[in-house]
């Protein structure tokens, strides 16, 4: 390659970067190399079939026009995959800085044209794109709306009702909540409703499925079929994101996320914690996740629990018309099973099984006996330091890692002291242990925090109320 080709290539990359933005550029183009220029055709290479497919699907024209701006004679771009052998023996190159000059390459390194026969087997990618199984009962019709989930429900509905080509209002939509509070139900409802409308394809994947199926398929050679299939997805729904692990999986997830969002496709995510607490994810992914709409679903209030029980009974009655649960029993269950939607479901299933097997009507006495083990003992809940950190971080709108960090700005120092104070008063942990759990601090620091907050609480009513409210949230 001549020096002037090298210069022009550098300028083409510069144009591309400013046209797509830094984020997209480094996700997709940082490892794209110029292999050769021959009259009106240019040959470029990337290290994986996945990158090749995405660039072809989404950026082919953009790349061509950046070339034409520098070399008007160019009319054709051939994008190829650098051979696996070469990728294996050569260490990965760092992303090229725009003005970096590289020595010319020996010719022997020319790229190998990726072979994509029309008859590529579709099955692997197809299976991966089949998504995770859906439960037909988890629809909007059976989802009960209450105070703790109004916003999440409204956002999910909005997403489900979108049409192809509509502007995407919040992307990604990120829903977080503890176990059994309805995340999976809501996500599957979006999937059912979206697919039922017929116009858009909505794909539901658990993070595990994403890891083992999706990423595997991305790496296989069936990229063409896969690209087509992926291109057909309008809404990607990922459940239990907290289980997404491993550097390369996360890198692929990051690519997928960026690509879909940049292409105006909707992404919906659920996890058991906010993006800022997904500690194993890298900062760029976290900030991308936090850049959409982040909604928390709170604990199920008594009214909502009652609603869920009613909805479950109604569903059971479709197949078991004689199944009846007296109001008093529903009340009892709603009051005593307090934490988890799964236990509510379990309770109704047991009553149903019992009344069927014994051909007996459901009574309060029977209910008390059948669901005894689902009822939490009334002994005070054991509070964990992580819970304290989570609740305090949420209250003061900082991240858990801020609390553990060495940052000393006022907006972090006070919440950190409050959290240490709560750790000392609500758990049996020693001062050194608490110090250790707060980013390796000395026990005297913890002691200082505890004294400080004790003193403040005594004279500052606002703070004292805040602390009381935090205690209530933790003891709930």
Contacting ligand ADP (CB under 6 A), which of 184, 191, 195, 258?
Answer: 184
Contacted entry of ligand ADP, Mg ion, none for residue 172, CB cut-off 5 to 8 Å set by kind: none
CB 55 within 8 A of CB 263: no
Residues 82-121 that bind ligand ADP (CB under 6 A): none
CA distance linking residue 289 with residue 274, whole number of Å: 9
Q: Closest residue to ligand ADP, Cβ-based?
A: 341
User: Smaller CB distance to ligand ADP: residue 50 or 143?
Assistant: 143
The answer to whether residue 149 forms part of the interface with ligand ADP (CB under 6 A) is yes
CB 208 within 8 A of CB 194: no
The answer to whether residue 311 forms part of the interface with ligand ADP (CB under 6 A) is yes
Q: One symbol per residue from 237 to 276: x for binding ligand ADP (CB under 6 A), - otherwise; what is it? A: ----------------------------------------
Contacting ligand ADP (CB under 6 A), which of 177, 217, 352, 446?
Answer: 177
User: Smaller CB distance to ligand ADP: residue 43 or 312?
Assistant: 312
Candidates 24-32, 140-148, 389-397, 456-464: pick the segment binding ligand ADP (CB under 6 A): 140-148
Q: Could you give the residue ranges of the DSSP H alpha helices within 378-409? A: 385-396, 400-404
Give the Cβ contact number of residue 277 at 10 Å.
20
Helix (H, G, I), strand (E, B) or coil at 399: coil
**Residues contacting residue 353 through CB under 8 Å, at least 6 positions apart:** none
User: Smaller CB distance to ligand ADP: residue 217 or 308?
Assistant: 308
Contacting ligand ADP (CB under 6 A), which of 43, 183, 339, 390?
Answer: 183
Q: One symbol per residue from 290 to 309: x for binding ligand ADP (CB under 6 A), - otherwise; what is it? A: ------------------x-
User: No. of H helices and E strands in the chain?
Assistant: 23, 8
Q: Give the N- to C-terminal CA distance of the chain in Å, as an integer.
A: 69
CA distance linking residue 379 with residue 401, whole number of Å: 31
> Least distance (Å) from ligand ADP to the CB of residue 338?
13
CB 218 within 8 A of CB 255: no
Helix (H, G, I), strand (E, B) or coil at 39: coil
User: Smaller CB distance to ligand ADP: residue 267 or 313?
Assistant: 313
CA distance linking residue 282 with residue 335, whole number of Å: 42
The answer to whether residue 191 forms part of the interface with Mg ion (CB under 5 A) is no
Contacting Mg ion (CB under 5 A), which of 27, 53, 132, 184?
Answer: 184
The answer to whether residue 182 forms part of the interface with ligand ADP (CB under 6 A) is yes
> Least distance (Å) from ligand ADP to the CB of residue 387?
17
Name the token pair of 69.
């701006």
Name the token pair of 424.
């000392």
The answer to whether residue 66 forms part of the interface with ligand ADP (CB under 6 A) is no
Contacting ligand ADP (CB under 6 A), which of 20, 37, 144, 189?
Answer: 144
Tokens 């679903």 belong to 297
The residue among 2, 73, 79, 90 whose CA lies nearest residue 39 is: 73
Candidates 121-129, 181-189, 385-393, 406-414: pick the segment binding ligand ADP (CB under 6 A): 181-189
Burial class of residue 45, CB neighbours in 10 A (0-12, 13-18, 19+): buried
> Least distance (Å) from ligand ADP to the CB of residue 337?
11
Do the strands 266-271 and 235-239 form a parallel or antiparallel pair, or are they unpaired?
parallel
User: Smaller CB distance to ligand ADP: residue 270 or 420?
Assistant: 270
CA angle 329, 331, 334 (to 5 degrees): 110
Name the token pair of 443.
């026990």
The answer to whether residue 342 forms part of the interface with ligand ADP (CB under 6 A) is yes
Name the token pair of 39.
């009259």
Contacting ligand ADP (CB under 6 A), which of 71, 83, 139, 180?
Answer: 180
Under the rule (CB under 6 A), what is the footprint of ligand ADP? 138, 142-144, 149, 177, 179-185, 308, 311, 341-342, 345
Under the rule (CB under 5 A), what is the footprint of Mg ion? 183-184
């Amino acid at each position: 390659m001549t020096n002037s080709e090298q210069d022009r290539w550098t300028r083409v990359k510069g144009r591309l970067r400013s046209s797509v933005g830094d984020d997209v550029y480094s996700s997709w183009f940082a490892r794209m190399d110029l292999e050769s220029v021959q009259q009106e055709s240019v040959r470029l290479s990337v290290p994986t079939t996945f990158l090749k497919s995405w660039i072809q699907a989404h950026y082919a024209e953009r790349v061509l026009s950046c070339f034409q701006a520098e070399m008007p004679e160019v009319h054709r771009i051939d994008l190829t995959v650098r051979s696996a052998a070469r990728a294996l023996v050569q260490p990965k190159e760092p992303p090229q800085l725009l003005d970096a000059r590289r020595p010319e390459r020996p010719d022997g390194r020319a790229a190998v044209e990726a072979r994509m026969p029309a008859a590529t087997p579709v099955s692997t990618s197809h299976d991966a794109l089949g998504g995770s199984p859906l439960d037909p009962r988890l629809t909007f019709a059976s989802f009960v709306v209450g105070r703790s989930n109004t916003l999440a429900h409204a956002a999910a509905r909005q997403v489900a009702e979108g049409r192809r080509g509509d502007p995407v209002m919040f992307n990604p939509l990120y829903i977080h909540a503890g176990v059994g509070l309805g995340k999976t139900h809501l996500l599957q409802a979006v999937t059912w409703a979206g697919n039922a409308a017929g116009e858009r394809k909505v794909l539901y994947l658990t993070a595990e499925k994403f890891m083992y199926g999706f990423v595997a398929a991305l790496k296989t050679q069936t990229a063409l079929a896969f690209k087509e299939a992926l291109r057909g997805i309008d809404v990607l729904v990922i459940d239990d994101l907290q289980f997404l692990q491993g550097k390369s999986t996360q890198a692929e997830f990051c690519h997928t996320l960026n690509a879909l969002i940049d292409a105006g496709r909707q992404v919906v995510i659920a996890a058991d914690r906010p993006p800022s607490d997904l500690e194993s994810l890298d900062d760029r992914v976290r900030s991308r996740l936090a850049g959409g709409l982040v909604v928390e679903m709170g604990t199920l209030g008594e009214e909502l629990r009652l609603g869920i029980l009613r909805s479950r009974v109604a569903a059971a009655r479709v197949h078991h018309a004689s199944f009846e649960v007296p109001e008093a029993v529903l009340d009892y269950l709603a009051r005593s099973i307090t934490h988890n939607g799964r236990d509510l479901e379990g309770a109704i299933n047991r009553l149903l099984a019992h009344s069927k097997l014994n051909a007996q009507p459901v009574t309060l006495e029977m209910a008390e006996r059948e669901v005894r083990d689902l009822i939490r003992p009334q002994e005070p809940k054991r509070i964990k330091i992580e819970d304290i950190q989570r609740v305090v971080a949420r209250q003061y709108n900082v991240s858990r890692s801020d609390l553990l960090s060495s940052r000393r700005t006022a907006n972090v120092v006070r919440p950190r002291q409050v959290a240490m104070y709560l750790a000392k008063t609500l758990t049996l942990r020693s001062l050194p242990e608490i110090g250790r759990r707060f980013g390796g601090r000395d026990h005297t620091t913890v002691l200082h925090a505890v004294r400080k907050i004790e003193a403040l609480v005594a004279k500052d009513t606002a703070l004292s109320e805040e602390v009381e409210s935090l205690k209530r949230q933790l003891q709930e």
